[in-house]
Structure 1
Amino acid sequence: MPKVQIMSVIGSAVPAPLRELGLLACWYLVQDGVTISGPLTSLPAAQALSQRIGPYLLSA
């Protein structure tokens, strides 16, 4: 069964456009080691997206 995980990155791993905005961390959704979302600017945003797409992955 596919499982979505939330991965955080910090420092220089954060994309330059987000670092330029002053963000020092961002989050991605990952499935089986593959990134399935772009960088998200907060953990709550990552959690909300994970909840929204989770049912679609289970039906795949």
Structure 2
Amino acid sequence: MHKHQIMSVVGSAVPAPLRAMGLLACWYLVRDGEAISGPLMSLPAAQALSRQLDTRVLHA
């Protein structure tokens, strides 16, 4: 089973559309060093998606 993690990026690593909205940080779910989600606008959003993925794995 692959484990995913939450990765944060800040500053110029934040995609330009999010920076244009005033965000200075964003979060991604990462598995085996590769992003498995698009940029998420908050840590709680990343945590919620992580829990959803965990639930899917348990019920698969």
Answer yes or no: same fold by TM over 0.5. Answer: yes
Task: Indicate the residue corresponding to 1:40 in structure 2.
Answer: 40
Structure 1 ranges of 4+ moved more than 4 A: 57-60
Q: Structure 1 residues 59 and 3, CA, compared in 2 at 3 Å: closer, same or farther? A: farther
Percent of counterpart pairs with the same letter? 72
Map 1:1-60 to 2 at 5 A: 1-57=1-57
Unpaired stretches in structure 1, ≥5 consecutive residues: none
Higher relative contact order, structure no. (Cα contacts within 8 Å, ≥ 6 residues apart)? 1
RMSD of the TM alignment (CA)? 1.4
Greater shift, 4-13 or 46-55, is seen at 46-55
Give the 3-state SS of the residue equivalent to 1:47 in structure 2. Answer: helix
When the two structures are aligned, how many residues end up with a matched partner? 60
Unpaired stretches in structure 2, ≥5 consecutive residues: none
